């Protein structure tokens, strides 16, 4: 593992990504064949047991592609995906079951995540049956117990998805993800489709279950308020790459990358007035044709020659658990 890894003591990481690439072949539409879209372009990350890592960035930066690669829903182009110490994830049925025992996912839209033709008992009991719980009574008991854990009455097992509100459906989706006792749950914008009044309840439920069950969370969101409240560590993603990573208090109190500062300055919070208000210029570049050097330089008010003409900036370690990719961090003051 390179210096981009976060140092750790104790048990090994539940998830370790090393130089992960996820590319898609996209037709140009002009008769020139296909070109690669680099959705994830060399990511190193790890998540420890019982930890919540927040992954933030604008829409289209590659967050969901990274999550889908971790889940095995899309193939990694190259790199290492290590889940609970295992890296040999082929496409066999046995391997897919083993992966599902290790990592589960809570999707963004609770209205399309549940089969409308299945009762809640079937939706939650089905994964148990696939993972070897063949006794019907035991499955029913486990379903009832998990419904209680997410704050629903066990009688909900007899009902169907259309009988529940959006917040209740997301609780059911959380129950389905946790019922097979995974080591890691990937949460892809789990509250963005919910009413504001319900979001805090779901966030607090996830935190409660994380502490109670010892499960690790990968919390993907564009809402930094949600990420700040939930995360132990935060990784900021821009155009397929991690540009800053660190403990949540380091990221929010002393952001090192200009992109991170613009995201934080957009949070309506008068207590962060000392960070200053920085505005993004223009739109994010296309992943089909990323800019040379630092991909953020066309939108950065502090960009200088190496940002535009040099190599992709390497990580600079700012503290034991804080690193960022930015030429400004290694720039000689006299060369400004």
- Could you tell me what percentage of the chain is helix, strand and coil, using 3-state DSSP and rounding each to the nearest 5? 35, 25, 40
Q: Using 50, 70 and 90 to split pLDDT, how confident is the model at 35? A: confident
d(CA 61, CA 286): 10
- Per-residue pLDDT of 57-99, as tens digits, reads 988 899 999 999 999 999 999 999 999 999 988 888 889 999 9
Backbone angles phi, psi at 133, to 5 degrees: -90, 90
Going along the chain from its start, the domains and CATH numbers come out as 15-117+160-335 (3.40.50.300)
pLDDT at 332: 45
> What global pTM score does this model have?
0.89
d(CA 228, CA 54): 8
- Per-residue pLDDT of 309-331, as tens digits, reads 878 999 999 998 899 999 999 87
Parallel, antiparallel or unpaired: strands 34-47 and 315-319: unpaired
């Amino acid at each position: 593992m390179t210096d981009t890894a976060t140092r750790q003591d104790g048990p090994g990481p539940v998830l370790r990504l090393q130089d992960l690439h996820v590319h898609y072949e996209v037709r140009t539409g002009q008769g020139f064949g296909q070109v690669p879209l680099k959705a994830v372009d060399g990511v190193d990350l790890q998540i420890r047991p019982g930890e919540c890592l927040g992954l933030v960035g604008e829409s289209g930066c590659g967050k969901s592609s990274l999550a889908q690669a971790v889940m095995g829903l899309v193939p990694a182009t190259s790199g290492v995906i290590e889940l609970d110490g295992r890296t040999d994830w082929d496409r066999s049925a046995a391997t897919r079951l083993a992966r599902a025992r290790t990592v589960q996912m809570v999707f963004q839209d609770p209205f399309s995540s549940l089969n409308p033709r299945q009762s809640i008992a079937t939706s939650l009991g089905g994964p148990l049956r696939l993972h070897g719980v063949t006794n019907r009574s035991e499955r029913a008991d486990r379903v009832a117990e998990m419904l209680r854990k997410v704050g629903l009455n066990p009688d909900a097992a007899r009902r169907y998805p259309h009988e529940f509100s959006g917040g209740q459906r997301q609780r059911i989706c959380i129950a389905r993800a946790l019922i097979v006792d995974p080591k890691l749950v990937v949460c892809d914008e789990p509250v963005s489709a919910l009413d504001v009044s319900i979001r805090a309840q779901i966030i607090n439920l996830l935190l409660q279950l994380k502490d109670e069950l010892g499960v690790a969370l990968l919390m993907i969101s564009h809402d930094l308020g949600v990420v700040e409240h939930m995360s132990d560590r935060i990784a900021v993603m821009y155009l397929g790459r991690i540009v800053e990573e660190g403990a949540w208090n380091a990221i929010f109190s002393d952001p090192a990358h200009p992109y991170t500062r613009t995201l934080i300055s957009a949070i309506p919070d008068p207590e962060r007035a000392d960070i200053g208000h920085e505005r993004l210029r223009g739109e994010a570049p296309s992943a089909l044709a990323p800019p040379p050097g630092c991909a953020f330089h066309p939108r950065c008010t502090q960009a200088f020659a190496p940002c535009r003409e040099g190599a992709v900036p390497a990580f600079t370690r700012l503290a034991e658990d804080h690193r960022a990719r930015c030429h400004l961090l290694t720039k000689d003051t006299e060369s400004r």
